[in-house]
Structure 1
């Protein structure tokens, strides 16, 4: 039997996200999310959480997107999203904007583990948009 290529990509994506979270958490008890107001990435993480939450609010019709956004927010120690519904075009536009924002955010992150996590999130969004 032939393996489902979409399923294989999803498995690789999940493994990649888990691996990134594990690698980035080396030396830390949890994710690379900032722990104090003095951390230079605090504002960036807050903005990332806000953008992911806003995008996730449009994704109720796509369970894979909801699961991905929930995992991303969990990696940033943020509350899970409340999913709502949006027309497909608006959802795709929002997901693409989020993907581009995450690329930019990864470049702005001061923390190496946070930059890797954000880059991984961007890749995950890109993969999900490609199969929508």
Structure 2
């Protein structure tokens, strides 16, 4: 009987730990070339879940594909680099420039670029990403293993 109680307690504890880890961390497999040379297809990265306040310019972040996304994957996850945050100057190559002559990234928005511009669909094409699409920031070192061919 004591063994059953011990096993049940272990199972409940393990489930609690798994739930806690999943709420705070995310493992993402890189599928495309948009972040080359930093990340390659097949690389896996770990991201710490955070809000816009936890992001710094230059961080590699994980976001949900935005509404109206027309590229593949249609509603998956994207890994990009944060190049401008709310209040920062808007880079000149962002697709959607602010109306009314404002030259700053608006609150709740961020500008994300891939490290490999010819292979990346990012703020250069679709404009701002929203803070609600942000899932987390990739923690270093950047690579945690590969799947598939090198």
TM-score by length of 2: 0.22
Question: Which structure has greater strand proportion?
Answer: 2
Name the larger-Rg structure.
2
TM-score by length of 1: 0.24
